[in-house]
A and B are shown apart, each in its own frame.
Chain A
Amino acid sequence: MELYPKVYLYRRIVKAKLFIDDNHSNPIDLDHIADEAFFSKFHFIRIFKKTYGKTPHQYLTYVRIERSKILLKDDMPISEVCYEVGFDSISSFTGLFKRIVGQTPSAYQLQCLNKKQEIKSIPLKYIPNCFAEMNGWTKKSNFEEA
């Protein structure tokens, strides 16, 4: 039963978005995405932008950059991250990353790894004292001994 008008339209757009999410590391192109959703290219771009505030290409870039941030946090080498998320040039990846995130991939990675190390060594710095006390974490001075 249809819950609302245009339910099939929404399902096709969502299917396209999920296709981008699942296949962002592959060299997909707009025609391919539009085909998956059974739209003409022009119609697809228009409806996608209206729904998500980004064109399909902008969204694909966004997904790749977001995924690259996760991989950088996991200490993957930058060159590997670049190809893993679907870019085919390290310089274009680096330039795009800096433009969108505001830092180079290496600066971002260093910042994340420093935070990770700090969380490991001084976790209480990241936990409001009320929560730490409620959980009994402030009674122990060295969490490695807990």
Chain B
Amino acid sequence: MITRLNHVSIFVLDQESAYDFYVNKLGFKVHTDAPMGPGMRWLTICPPEQPELEIALMAISEGMMFTKESAEAMRKLVADGTFGFGVFECNDLLATYEELKAKGVEFKKAPTQEFYGFEALFKDDSGNWFSLGQKG
């Protein structure tokens, strides 16, 4: 019986830039950072209060997973903001919004009261977007 989720992937255009975004701007913690050969890196981060959930910041490059053409197509899709990879949560949306803005995070939507909750939308450095909601 499936009991929990422990890994999830986010495709990024540049792992080093993504590291700076998720760790230094969003405040996530590094779980595993393992060099895997020239130009390859296994990098997982986790939200501060979920140390067991590993978010893998996956590079998009020609290799086993992508052909040259599919890698180019995927990079364009990511850069175009096609993918919304999830919903994050915070204790105070207005404070978090102001802080992330001060750190240079780009928001697609400012904090707005929707019928389902209080929500903002932001983008990572690659173009992926996320919903950010207030807990409770």
Name A residues whose Cβ lies closer than 8 Å to a Cβ of B. 3-4, 6-7, 10-11, 13-15, 17-18, 51-53, 119-120, 123, 126-128, 131, 133-137, 140, 143, 146
Contacts and interface: CB of A to CB of B under 8 A. Distances in A.
A140 B33 CA distance: 19
B32 interface: yes
A123 B36 contact: yes
Given A14-B99, A134-B64, A127 B34 contact: yes
Given A10-B98, A136-B63, A126 B34 contact: yes
Contact of A52 (B35, B95, B110): B95
Kindly list the 9 A-B residue pairs having the minimum CB-CB distance in the complex, ordered from nearest: A146-B37, A136-B64, A123-B34, A14-B98, A126-B32, A14-B99, A51-B95, A119-B34, A10-B98
Contacts of B1: none
B2 interface: no
A66 to B, nearest CB: 9
Contacts of B98: 7, 10-11, 14
**What interface size band does chain B fall in?**
20 to 34
Contacts of A128: 7
Chain B interface main SS type:
mixed
Contacts, number: 70
Contact of B42 (A7, A11, A14, A123): A123
Nearest to B110: A3
A13 B95 contact: yes
24 contacts: A3-B111, A4-B94, A4-B111, A7-B94, A10-B98, A13-B95, A14-B95, A18-B102, A51-B92, A51-B95, A52-B91, A52-B95, A119-B32, A120-B34, A123-B34, A126-B42, A127-B42, A133-B64, A135-B36, A137-B37, A137-B40, A140-B37, A146-B37, A146-B40
